[in-house]
Each structure stands twice: as C-alpha cells, then as structure tokens.
C-alpha cells in the first residue's frame, strides 16, 4: 500500500493514477523476486552444509560434525549441539550436562531404538 498525502485537496488525473498503480505492481513483483532469491540462497547453503555433514558421516567420522567446519550447528538454528559417540561427549554452545545427555541418549535407545 502506497499513500501520498497533500495539505490541500488535489485532483490526480487518471493517467498519473494509472502510472502509479503500474509502478507499484512492478515494485511488488520485484520485492517478491528478491524474497524468493533470498530463500533460494538460504536453501542452497543449507543443502551444501547438509552434503558436507553427510559426507563426514559416510566417511565414518561422526566426530567431525562437531569438531570441524561446517558443523551441525551450521545446519539448524540452535544455541548448542552435542554428540555422544562411543561413550564420549562432544559439546558445542549451550547444552545439557553430560549426565542429562546420557539420560536422553538412554531414553532414545529404549523408546526409539529402531530409528536411532
């Protein structure tokens, strides 16, 4: 919505109103394109990060997802991440304590062992 104010009543001729309407439509299309481009750029970055992290996991180097760059925190918006692998802990940022992580891990294995 574009609004123009004038201190006195003023007649705006139809061709000028029509030209303004056209310009606003063009502006709206351009804004939509910019938003879509920004979303595509973010998605591309996420896919690249995901590919790198999956490669690390496929090379049987899961510790790399928390010790190298990019790391798992680059994939999702979060304040912290933890890896519990072969009874060792790797933590980044704000995380639960090691005991809490171990409890979460045990709960996941008990309740979702087939998919974890």
CA distance 82 to 73: 10
Let me know if residue 62 belongs to a domain: yes
Q: How many residues belong to the chain?
A: 116
Let me know if residue 21 belongs to a domain: yes
87: left (phi over 0), alpha (psi -120 to 50) or beta: left
Quote the domain boundaries for residue 41.
Answer: 14-112
Let me know if residue 103 belongs to a domain: yes
Let me know if residue 9 belongs to a domain: no
- Number of domains present in the structure of the chain: 1
Let me know if residue 87 belongs to a domain: yes
CA distance 107 to 103: 6
pLDDT > 80? residue 2: no
User: How do residues 81-113 score in pLDDT, each as one tens digit?
Assistant: 998 888 888 999 999 999 999 999 999 989 987
CA distance 60 to 17: 65
Phi/psi for 53 (5° steps) reads -65, -40
User: How do residues 75-89 score in pLDDT, each as one tens digit?
Assistant: 888 999 998 888 888
User: How do residues 8-58 score in pLDDT, each as one tens digit?
Assistant: 888 889 999 999 999 999 999 999 999 999 999 999 999 999 999 999 988
Let me know if residue 7 belongs to a domain: no
What average pLDDT is seen over the chain? 90
Select from 69, 104, 110, 114 the least CA-distant residue to 83.
Answer: 104
pLDDT > 70? residue 116: no
Please tell me what DSSP assigns to residue 79.
S
Let me know if residue 72 belongs to a domain: yes
């Amino acid at each position: 919505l574009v609004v123009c104010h004038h201190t006195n009543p003023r007649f705006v001729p139809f061709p000028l109103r029509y030209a303004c309407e056209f310009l606003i439509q063009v502006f709206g299309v351009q804004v939509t394109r910019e938003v879509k481009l920004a979303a595509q750029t973010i998605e591309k970055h996420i896919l690249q990060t995901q590919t790198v992290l999956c490669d690390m996991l496929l090379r049987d180097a899961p510790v790399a997802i928390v010790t190298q760059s990019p790391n798992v925190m680059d994939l999702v918006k979060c304040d912290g991440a933890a890896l519990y692998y072969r009874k060792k802990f790797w933590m980044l940022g704000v995380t639960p304590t090691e005991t809490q992580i171990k409890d979460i891990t045990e709960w996941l294995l008990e309740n979702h062992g087939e998919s974890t």
